[in-house]
Structure formats: structure tokens, C-alpha cells
Amino acid sequence: MIEELGKNNRIIQESVPGKQITLAHVVAAPIAAVYDSLGVGHVGAIGILSLTPNETAIIAADIAGKAADVDICFVDRFTGSVMFNGDIQSVETSLDQVLRYFKDTLGFSTVPLTKS
């Protein structure tokens, strides 16, 4: 672990594809600036996922959209990011279903669902 970075230190960050969900988060009550910055309607909670391999974002978005009444706002197959919004219960249900499917059916490593 690097404790202190000086001027001559450099950090190299790599993406090592694995079968994993690295983020599953609910933003329960976003402030208006968050909605505006993301370019989504000011409606309910926001669900965020980050997955590798990146292309599995497509599968996650499909499952999330079928699991509950959410609007898919963003899917990026190049970074593995998915974002959707809806009422808090629907967003949590969608995230739970994605986590369950990826873990039980696809054998992915997953993280606990977090919420702010």
C-alpha cells in the first residue's frame, strides 16, 4: 500500500477482466444536481452497476429492465457501466435480481448491494 505519494511517484491502473460485479449501488434520493449532471429525469432513485467483462453490461441492463419498473438511462459495453432509475423499491429489486443472476447462473463474483 502506498502511504505517501511524492512528485516523482506514478500510479498505473489496469483493468483485468474477470467475471465480477464490482459495484451495485442505490442512490436513494439524489440531489437535483446529480440528475442534471447525468441528464436523467428527476425521478426516484438511481441504480448503478459496474461489471467485467464489460459487454455483460448489456445482460445486466436487460435483467434490470425486466425485473422491475425502471428506466434504463445508460449502458456502456466498453466500460461495463449500467445506470437506471425508478422508485426506490424497483431499483433495489432490479439490482438484487442482477446480482442473483450473475452470481447463481453465470458464476460471477459479486459485491453486496450498497445504498446512500
For residue 9, is it within any domain?
no
For residue 2, is it within any domain?
no
Domain that holds residue 73: 20-111
The CATH code of the domain that includes 52 is 3.30.70.1710
For residue 74, is it within any domain?
yes
For residue 49, is it within any domain?
yes
For 61-95, the pLDDT digits (tens) are 999 999 999 999 999 999 999 999 999 999 999 99
Residue 56 contacts residue 67 (beta carbons within 8 Å): no
Alpha helices, H only, 21-72: 32-38, 57-67
pTM of the model: 0.82
2 has a pLDDT exceeding 50: no
For 30-51, the pLDDT digits (tens) are 999 998 898 888 889 999 999 9
Considering its fold, how many domains does the chain have in total?
Answer: 1
For residue 30, is it within any domain?
yes
Residue 66 contacts residue 105 (beta carbons within 8 Å): no
Judged by average pLDDT, the poorest of 5-9, 20-24, 50-54, 86-90 is: 5-9
For residue 77, is it within any domain?
yes
Residue 54 contacts residue 78 (beta carbons within 8 Å): yes
For residue 15, is it within any domain?
no
